[in-house]
Amino acid sequence: MSVISNHYGEYPFKNDYIFDKFKFTFTLDSQVFRYFRETFHSQKKNLLISLNNIDKIIVQPSEPLVSDLPKTHLMLELSEPLVLPPDSEIRGFFDFPVSVAILVIVNNKITPIDLFQLLPYKFALYGNSHNGVLCRYWKTSFYPVPIEPRIFETGVLEIEIQNSSSSTITLTRLVMDFAYIELFYNWTVVKAKARARIQSESLCETQFLVPTDVHNFTKSYDLIPTKILSSSKFIMLYGI
């Protein structure tokens, strides 16, 4: 029996799941499940899960984490620079990449089993190679109104940008630590929220917040464990 669908959410356990751009199967092999996933660009994954019973499956959007190079910073580069007058504030939207996570539920216990991307990914260096950070790279535009994200590929990031400096600032990029992102999703839309406080042309503080208006949305299960005793804010020291 198969599940044919194309949205995020919780599904009853079946052997086959077919989505538009990916599919996965579970086969019980004596005491373990064999999991096989394939994406439309032939990315394959095979693994054994040491369970003999699965209650439900969750297909959810997750942090834009790449298993091959697990870096937790995201650089959003603007295709058109955004000019901000002194002491001003603007609210708008960016799109950002999401990963797809497959989780299994057994006795109300959630276990992530797979994480993959349907979009090709790139990385970028923010700062220098000694003191900087490696970030997942994403080129985006600033949208004054909410945009329609692409399911299983992108989400919508609501952003508040404050220019606290006394000079006009041209914003070309933002770097943030997505280890602290709070993702909310419904069937087709993924939402997150962030704030950027610009102090000067070379200094900006970014932070993820809880998005507003998430009624009827589900919070994504965090794949990156919460860091204790560390700040959720990221300070951009090498220019904006």
Partner 1 sequence: MKIANILTPEKIIELTVVIVIFLILLVLINLVLKKLKIVLSDKISFQTLLVFNRFVLWGFIVLYTILALTYFGVKLTGILALGGLVSIIIGFAAQKVVGNFIAGLFLIFERPIKMGQSVLINNFSGIVEEIRFLSTIMRTFQGEFVRIPNELVFTSAITNLTENIARRVDYIIGIRYSDDFEKAKEVVLKFLDLEQFVLAVPKPEVFVEEFASSSVNVHIRFWVPTEKWYDMKNYLQDVIRNKLINSGVQIPFPQMEVKIHNLDGFKER
Specify the residue, 54 or 171, whose C-beta has the smaller distance to partner 1: 171
Specify the residue, 130 or 215, whose C-beta has the smaller distance to partner 1: 130
Q: Tell me if 8 contacts partner 1 by CB under 8 A.
A: no
Instruction: Find the binder of partner 1 among 133, 189, 203, 214 (CB under 8 A).
Output: 133
Report in angstroms how near the CB of residue 172 gets to partner 1 at its nearest.
11
If phi > 0 it is left, if psi is from -120 to 50 it is alpha, else beta; for residue 152 that is left
Instruction: Find the binder of partner 1 among 19, 33, 96, 137 (CB under 8 A).
Output: 137
Q: Tell me if 134 contacts partner 1 by CB under 8 A.
A: yes
| Beta carbons of 179 and 152 less than 8 angstroms apart | no
Of 223, 221, 190, the C-alpha closest to 10 is 221
Report in angstroms how near the CB of residue 226 gets to partner 1 at its nearest.
14
Q: How many residues bind partner 1 (CB under 8 A)?
A: 16
If phi > 0 it is left, if psi is from -120 to 50 it is alpha, else beta; for residue 230 that is beta
Q: Tell me if 44 contacts partner 1 by CB under 8 A.
A: no
Specify the residue, 57 or 98, whose C-beta has the smaller distance to partner 1: 98
Specify the residue, 9 or 239, whose C-beta has the smaller distance to partner 1: 239
Binding footprint of partner 1 on the chain (CB under 8 A): 69, 75, 77, 120-126, 129-130, 132-134, 137
